């Protein structure tokens, strides 16, 4: 038995969220876009740039924001 999941907006391979388009998880307008990592890197959002603290220094996420 293979594991997997299905999109709740897919009906007969058509996306119910992006009207009239074939269901392609991660496509522009998809409710899954940006919430999950896909094996197809083209569907993933680019990483966010590092945050800057008010003093102009980069926040260090490993040490509580550089404080």
Burial 27-58 (b: 16+ CB within 10 A, else e): eeebebeeeeeeeeeebeeeeeeeeeeeeeee
Structural domain includes residue 48: no
Q: Is residue 13 part of a domain?
A: yes
Task: Flag whether 18 is in a domain.
Answer: yes
In a domain, 2, yes or no: no
pLDDT digits (tens, 9 = 90+) for 6-47: 788 888 989 988 888 898 887 788 887 777 777 778 777 787
Q: Is position 56 within any domain?
A: no
Task: Report if residue 33 sits inside a domain.
Answer: yes
Please tell me the predicted confidence (pLDDT) of residue 4.
61
Determine, yes or no, domain membership for 66. no
What total number of domains does the chain contain? 1
Looking at residue 56, its pLDDT comes to 64
Q: Which domain holds residue 22?
A: 8-42
pLDDT score, position 1 = 42
């Amino acid at each position: 038995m293979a594991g997997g999941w299905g999109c709740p907006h897919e009906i007969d391979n058509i996306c119910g969220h992006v009207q009239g388009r074939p269901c392609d998880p991660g496509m522009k307008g998809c409710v899954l876009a940006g919430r999950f990592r896909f094996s197809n890197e083209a569907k993933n959002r680019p990483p966010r740039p590092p945050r800057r603290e008010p003093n102009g220094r980069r926040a260090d996420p490993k040490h509580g924001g550089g404080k």
